[in-house]
Copies of this chain bind each other. A is one copy, B any other.
Amino acid sequence: MKIQPVKGTRDFYPSEMAVRNFIIDGWKKVSIRNGFEEYDSPILEHLAMFQIKSGDEIVEQLFSLKDRGGRDLALIPEITPSLARMVNQRINSLPKPIKWFSVPRLFRAERPQKGRLREFFQWNIDIIGTDDVLADSEIIFTTIDYLKYAGLKPDDVVVKISSRKLLAAVLKSLGIADKDLDAMYALLDKKARLKLDAFEQLLIEKVSDKKTSAKIIRFMETKNISEIKKIALNDEIEQALYELTTNQHYLNEMGVSDFCRFDAGIVRGLAYYTGIVFEVYAKGEQLRAICGGGRYDNLLKDFGGPEVPATGMGMGDCVLEILLREKALLDKQIKKPELDYFVARFGAVGEEPLKIIGKMRSMGYSANFSYKMGSLSGQLAEASAQNAKNCIIIGEEEIQKNEITIKNMQTGKQQTLPMDKFMDGLIRPK
């Protein structure tokens, strides 16, 4: 019986696994150097958890199932609700602020297309327990620190930064009612994906007033913080602008402002954002955002906990991988795994090679051999294919004299040593 893989999932053969490991190892390394600690949630959570705050799009795309007891479960489509649940469970004992990262495997029943799969990985970083703008800056800095680590430059990517608080204040100053804000965010978030005409049409239907819709569009197209004041101004707007300016200042001090720019068009679709928000885009590309994030000060409360300020970012692996491939940043950075020793054996040499291999591996060296036991040249070719640093050659002559021959695969130099001397000289690698 021939079985096919499920649509929208990926098989990771060793070469694809090397790419996945390169991306995930980078995420982990950069998280750790920025002071984040790793956590993870289960993949199975109660379905009800995603009905609280995740928004319609995510709920529609849930992979859901029932357990034996008939309880409704879901495969997690994002980790933020689980994070809120976990932090709430230990809210009093965890030292704050909490700086955590995770690389969950997520599931969305989307129609598979370029950059969107049903099973994917997502890097998440979050700082919980401080309303300091510095935390927003640190999330953005860490995101950029990874992009730089992966080899991307300000010519390749741009971090567009705005503020949900600013957007809310501007919309309210233009007469949009509190109750209509969530629906408005979802609509405004679509602007970049629609033609201006079509977007304008939808917006006018919502606000029933051409002048207001023009002002909203003018606001969203603003790329300069100082110009906002010309559109609307009140205390809330001033507070939001102060936060944005402070954030710019911090990012400048931290040395990454060449990646960043203000863009009032950044909305983020999800309802739970409350402050600074941002998205990273590839320059000159039609790709979706590489990642996005922002401040979500009410989420823990929405999940039954106390009011705790929080800010975070999520970056999926699919769009990122496409971008890194386009910029030729994968092949040159993914190192082929090296083998410390390949043991070539030929003739009636018995099990002496197994002794050597067993000892090398137990000491911590990577060591391999050929099952085919063909010609020496064939085995040397196999050693090269496995990227061996050294090839140990054991033939009948070596066994008789109790010697081994060791060939440096880089220089091609060979030397013959007494077996005992070689084995005693093997020093445990770090």
Report chain B residues within 8 Å CB of A100. Answer: 14
> A21 near B: Cβ within 8 Å?
yes
Whether A367 and B33, one on each chain, are in contact in the complex, defined by CB atoms closer than 8 angstroms, is: yes
Please report the C-alpha to C-alpha distance between residue A63 and residue B46 in the assembled complex, in whole angstroms: 14
> A17 near B: Cβ within 8 Å?
yes
Please report the C-alpha to C-alpha distance between residue A89 and residue B12 in the assembled complex, in whole angstroms: 12
Please report the C-alpha to C-alpha distance between residue A6 and residue B105 in the assembled complex, in whole angstroms: 17
Whether A253 and B355, one on each chain, are in contact in the complex, defined by CB atoms closer than 8 angstroms, is: yes
> A378 near B: Cβ within 8 Å?
no
Interfacial residues, chain A to chain B (CB-CB below 8 A) = 1-7, 9-14, 17-18, 20-21, 32-35, 37-46, 48-49, 52, 63-65, 67-68, 71, 73, 75, 81-82, 85-86, 88-90, 95, 97, 99-100, 105, 107, 109, 118-119, 130, 132, 134-135, 141, 145, 148, 249-250, 253-256, 302-304, 337, 339-340, 351-352, 354-355, 357-359, 361-362, 364-369, 371, 385-386
Whether A357 and B89, one on each chain, are in contact in the complex, defined by CB atoms closer than 8 angstroms, is: no
Report chain B residues within 8 Å CB of A130. Answer: 371
What are 26 sample pairs from A and B whose C-beta atoms fall under 8 A apart? Answer: A1-B302, A3-B45, A3-B85, A3-B304, A6-B67, A10-B42, A11-B41, A14-B37, A14-B38, A33-B361, A33-B365, A33-B367, A34-B367, A43-B75, A43-B105, A43-B119, A44-B107, A63-B67, A64-B65, A65-B65, A95-B385, A130-B371, A132-B371, A134-B371, A254-B357, A255-B358
Most buried by B among A255, A352, A355, A362: A362
Please report the C-alpha to C-alpha distance between residue A258 and residue B306 in the assembled complex, in whole angstroms: 57
Whether A46 and B354, one on each chain, are in contact in the complex, defined by CB atoms closer than 8 angstroms, is: no
Please report the C-alpha to C-alpha distance between residue A81 and residue B52 in the assembled complex, in whole angstroms: 37
- A3 vs chain B, min Cβ distance (A): 5
Please report the C-alpha to C-alpha distance between residue A65 and residue B73 in the assembled complex, in whole angstroms: 10
- A223 vs chain B, min Cβ distance (A): 24
Whether A148 and B371, one on each chain, are in contact in the complex, defined by CB atoms closer than 8 angstroms, is: no
Please report the C-alpha to C-alpha distance between residue A18 and residue B21 in the assembled complex, in whole angstroms: 18
Query: A337 with B37: in contact, given A46-B4, A86-B11 (CB under 8 Å)?
Result: yes
Whether B355 and A254, one on each chain, are in contact in the complex, defined by CB atoms closer than 8 angstroms, is: yes
Whether A97 and B14, one on each chain, are in contact in the complex, defined by CB atoms closer than 8 angstroms, is: no
Please report the C-alpha to C-alpha distance between residue A10 and residue B68 in the assembled complex, in whole angstroms: 18
Whether B14 and A358, one on each chain, are in contact in the complex, defined by CB atoms closer than 8 angstroms, is: no
Please report the C-alpha to C-alpha distance between residue A109 and residue B69 in the assembled complex, in whole angstroms: 10
Query: A304 with B14: in contact, given A6-B44, A253-B354 (CB under 8 Å)?
Result: no
Report chain B residues within 8 Å CB of A18. Answer: 38
Whether B362 and A32, one on each chain, are in contact in the complex, defined by CB atoms closer than 8 angstroms, is: no
Report chain B residues within 8 Å CB of A6. Answer: 42, 44-46, 67, 71, 73
Whether A109 and B5, one on each chain, are in contact in the complex, defined by CB atoms closer than 8 angstroms, is: no
Report chain B residues within 8 Å CB of A7. Answer: 67
Whether B371 and A5, one on each chain, are in contact in the complex, defined by CB atoms closer than 8 angstroms, is: no
Whether A362 and B1, one on each chain, are in contact in the complex, defined by CB atoms closer than 8 angstroms, is: no
Query: Residue of B at shortest CB range from A111?
Result: B68
Whether B351 and A249, one on each chain, are in contact in the complex, defined by CB atoms closer than 8 angstroms, is: yes
Whether A13 and B33, one on each chain, are in contact in the complex, defined by CB atoms closer than 8 angstroms, is: no
Whether B41 and A12, one on each chain, are in contact in the complex, defined by CB atoms closer than 8 angstroms, is: yes
Known A2-B303, A7-B67; 11 more pairs at CB < 8 Å: A3-B45, A3-B81, A10-B42, A11-B82, A11-B86, A34-B366, A37-B337, A68-B109, A145-B362, A250-B354, A255-B358
Whether B358 and A13, one on each chain, are in contact in the complex, defined by CB atoms closer than 8 angstroms, is: no
Whether B9 and A42, one on each chain, are in contact in the complex, defined by CB atoms closer than 8 angstroms, is: yes
- A363 vs chain B, min Cβ distance (A): 9
Query: Residue of B at shortest CB range from A85?
Result: B3
